[in-house]
Structure 1
């Protein structure tokens, strides 16, 4: 699919999303639009796979009679095969296109004219979405599809005051979606997934403060992904402890030939559902991802694993329990101090360090406060540098990159086995960006410069520097970037004598102009203005 076709698909999907614009907020109507797109994708994916299984029998899936004895037997066999291959099953009558056509039925009026009339399908739709989840029960994919459509509330008065109003809106959305050909036979698996992520980004732009809960701008995701895949073509595993919509995990996959398994954890249920949908829409088989819905700090779900690559954009300075019992938790016990309850930034960092494999790379976003705050955070930072020597690089980013906050942020890169154990790389990329409307955006050249500087550990005047551990120690383990990268601009020298001569010349010129005006006034026999 060409870039033009991709942009067309994005614009078509966004136009459909606008059907609900004005009725409910962006972070609410995303649940409906993204959920229905996902339902359509599941339908088309299943029909395609079922037709492959039926090819030798000369039968098309959509032509099977669900009520006949033969039809029931065929569907039962197909269910077992498709649940194993795709993780779920739908009957022909439950396919998206058949339900959309049922809702948009043609009727003949009294004048024998054909008209389109909206048929009631809300109950059918609810049953289909429930059937998708039920089809996975007892299978390996059950956890990946459990309550996946929970946030699609077909009885919400927000989308329509009456049942008929709600039905009309839903039918309109399904009908519009049905007219778009996802073309799964000829489309690169990432194209529809990218269009889906485009919508997530658009919803994030309209969701204000809530956007940070589920979306990391693609430019920032790209930097993290490129860092953790440095000099690697394959990854056994990648992990995001605050995975949001899953975009960071998927971005990592773009930078290597293969990712063996994706792991993630997300506290917000709605966002957790979004992440699972995003994985499947990017053609990641249910066998290859394990995303959990739980609080990462309080109830971690993957402690038995170590990961090749870890990426994260944890909530900035979030609160956590800081329960004294965590002092005995393997993630925190060796540090001697817990991160403060009002700022969980280092708790997330400690958690990720614990999950990092010996030859792995970790890159996470954090507020600048983690670089210099004292007390418990200063103690943890010192331990990471002096005792463990895990901090590989600090990268300062521009302010106003993220939806919902304008604060400047940084990227912390940590390794348990550093190639250059005697120093830490500092990059100040805070001034390299383009302003687009109300957001600052990293350009391709800005990203390339950061990655090139990191991978080559280059020293660039007023941009990057390599500081020895002795220098860091002399600064009392304060990692504030201006201590190591001098971005101070020398004041421009001003020649006072030259300025005086110039001012004197201007003064003389003004006197000449005054004299000319005075002579004109005298000729005209009028009073001069001065």
Structure 2
């Protein structure tokens, strides 16, 4: 490892440790989903504030005038604000900058209502602009009037001031941090909150290593994508992971949960994705398809497992019509797959995490699965993952990979169920294990007890049942028992036991010789030992 990498790793670890320590100041009586909103909201506000300050400084570099001075000058004000909004998509007045609020705290001239005004002003600055929808309601979940922060304005102000001062001590500027260090630390916090959120965690977070597998697969052979789409985007971590594997021009996503939708927008912006490069929507993907006939280079998702949905009338929907059956009302897994395939470009790749039940369940799901294999020939691979990888559920899952216009009809099966490193609460995949899975998918060759390329006829023989053990034999045969050696071992053990009994009996006899009154106790002990 080079010195630069060591520095980055140490810097990242230190930043994560300090941010999590600050988050603990907010715990109190709040659960993870509550104090998450305040902590991430404040970090995000400081990030936005820093972006405005840095860009204003750049614009005014030759004028020898500060941002505050320039904004107070009528000749500068309108043009300066317009230039910043056009570039960043939002504006923050000097009096509401994070650095200004910190000075107010230090001077004893701060209350939580001023912070509320400041965050509201961010959204107000985008009204009527192209960025309006991207910033609308971003801070809606940071309820600064909540009694959880304190029963009075003074108590709430004191707690927020404490957290803001602690955050102010952490360098957020580009000169102090390596590229993406802040964005990665932000995602680290999302993961930490997920670890504390129990079953709710699955709503917004896909473990980083699983995201790396999906991203690695959909970007194979491509260093640039025009578009990537996640129909159940959660906090946006999976979209961003695709951006780590290839240059992505535009990000698209839809998310039902409003709080999680806000988190995704913050996460994208924190990772340097300009508002003009993402189009994300808050709504029910299956009921309200925001993207209609739009298609994408890569489609990735970790949808809610076996979610309830309303299949009534859905066979009239172009996304589901050709399959002849709809996914069951209590198991929307295949409905998400059908939706994703509808939005996948002809030369695109799609990867989705699903529960194992989709591989073998019958009835309507069996009909849909058969159509995808027999008629559409879109299923390219099935990758079994270890159990207990995800927050909030211990069930084993599988990654299904789909491609359109395949010239081959075989299906690659990978059993990676034993590829994990045991953790305290969840199992983890190492970078080496992630690389092994992606490389195996790329090479598409049989590997004993790990991977098998199943022929179409082989799948037909199994009645389109995709249960992985039918294709990848991981059975480890027990070594044959040497009966003669076993008998010899038993005899030797019996001899050693008899010798021990004899030695113990002699020791007891010696003790009795010294104490005649112990004869009765000796008789009882011998009875216990069968003597």
- Paired residue for 1:204? 194
3-state SS, counterpart of residue 388 of structure 1? coil
Alignment of 1:180-191 (within 5 A): 180-185=170-175, 187-191=177-181
* Deviation at residue 244 of structure 1 after TM alignment: 0.4
1:496 maps to 2:483: yes
- Paired residue for 2:265? 276
Within 2, Cα distance between the matches of 1:239 and 1:354? 12
1:409 maps to 2:400: no
Deviation track 1:354-388 (CA, whole Å, cap 9, x = no partner) reads 00000000001000000000111000000000000
Query: Does 262-271 or 74-83 show the bigger shift?
Result: 74-83
1:430 maps to 2:417: yes
* Deviation at residue 492 of structure 1 after TM alignment: 2.5
CA contact (8 A) 2:38 2:142 kept: yes
- Paired residue for 2:285? 296
Within 2, Cα distance between the matches of 1:445 and 1:189? 24
CA contact (8 A) 2:101 2:110 kept: no
Within 2, Cα distance between the matches of 1:140 and 1:233? 29
Within 1, Cα distance between the matches of 2:506 and 2:101? 91
Within 2, Cα distance between the matches of 1:518 and 1:8? 65
Within 1, Cα distance between the matches of 2:510 and 2:92? 99
* Deviation at residue 476 of structure 1 after TM alignment: 0.8
Within 1, Cα distance between the matches of 2:260 and 2:141? 10
CA contact (8 A) 1:189 1:282 kept: no
Structure 1 residues 189 and 83 mapped into 2: Cα distance closer, same or farther (>3 Å)?
farther
Within 2, Cα distance between the matches of 1:98 and 1:437? 42
Structure 1 residues 104 and 523 mapped into 2: Cα distance closer, same or farther (>3 Å)?
closer
* Deviation at residue 282 of structure 1 after TM alignment: 0.4
Choose which of 244, 248, 251 in structure 2 pairs with 1:259. Answer: 248
- Paired residue for 1:78? 80
1:103 maps to 2:111: no
Within 1, Cα distance between the matches of 2:223 and 2:435? 19
Alignment of 1:450-529 (within 5 A): 450-519=437-506, 526=513, 529=526
Query: Does 397-406 or 50-59 show the bigger shift?
Result: 50-59
Structure 1 residues 330 and 509 mapped into 2: Cα distance closer, same or farther (>3 Å)?
same
Choose which of 317, 323, 345 in structure 2 pairs with 1:357. Answer: 345
TM-score normalised by L of structure 2: 0.93
1:373 maps to 2:379: no
Structure 1 residues 122 and 511 mapped into 2: Cα distance closer, same or farther (>3 Å)?
closer
* Deviation at residue 523 of structure 1 after TM alignment: 5.7
- Paired residue for 1:109? none
Within 2, Cα distance between the matches of 1:47 and 1:513? 83
Choose which of 309, 318, 323 in structure 2 pairs with 1:320. Answer: 309
**How many residue pairs were aligned?**
511
Q: CA RMSD in A?
A: 1.5
Within 1, Cα distance between the matches of 2:506 and 2:370? 80
TM-score normalised by L of structure 1: 0.94
Alignment of 1:213-292 (within 5 A): 213-256=203-246, 258-292=247-281
Within 1, Cα distance between the matches of 2:128 and 2:437? 47
CA contact (8 A) 1:224 1:364 kept: yes
* Deviation at residue 233 of structure 1 after TM alignment: 0.6
Within 2, Cα distance between the matches of 1:10 and 1:73? 43
CA contact (8 A) 1:365 1:410 kept: yes
CA contact (8 A) 1:193 1:281 kept: yes
* Deviation at residue 78 of structure 1 after TM alignment: 1.1
* Deviation at residue 189 of structure 1 after TM alignment: 3.9
- Paired residue for 1:391? 379
Structure 1 residues 492 and 143 mapped into 2: Cα distance closer, same or farther (>3 Å)?
same
Within 1, Cα distance between the matches of 2:496 and 2:49? 82
- Paired residue for 1:123? 113
Within 1, Cα distance between the matches of 2:267 and 2:505? 79
CA contact (8 A) 2:351 2:401 kept: yes
* Deviation at residue 505 of structure 1 after TM alignment: 2.2
3-state SS, counterpart of residue 422 of structure 2? strand
Choose which of 142, 145, 152 in structure 2 pairs with 1:162. Answer: 152
* Deviation at residue 138 of structure 1 after TM alignment: 1.2
Within 1, Cα distance between the matches of 2:178 and 2:414? 36
* Deviation at residue 9 of structure 1 after TM alignment: 1.2
Within 2, Cα distance between the matches of 1:95 and 1:425? 54
> Which structure 1 residue ranges, 5 or more long, are not aligned?
106-116
CA contact (8 A) 2:15 2:185 kept: yes
* Deviation at residue 286 of structure 1 after TM alignment: 0.8
- Paired residue for 1:23? 29
- Paired residue for 2:161? 171
CA contact (8 A) 1:240 1:312 kept: yes
Deviation track 1:232-258 (CA, whole Å, cap 9, x = no partner) reads 1100100000000000000001111x2
CA contact (8 A) 2:412 2:451 kept: yes
Choose which of 8, 23, 36 in structure 1 pairs with 2:14. Answer: 8
- Paired residue for 2:125? 135
Structure 1 residues 524 and 18 mapped into 2: Cα distance closer, same or farther (>3 Å)?
closer
* Deviation at residue 74 of structure 1 after TM alignment: 1.2
1:35 maps to 2:41: yes
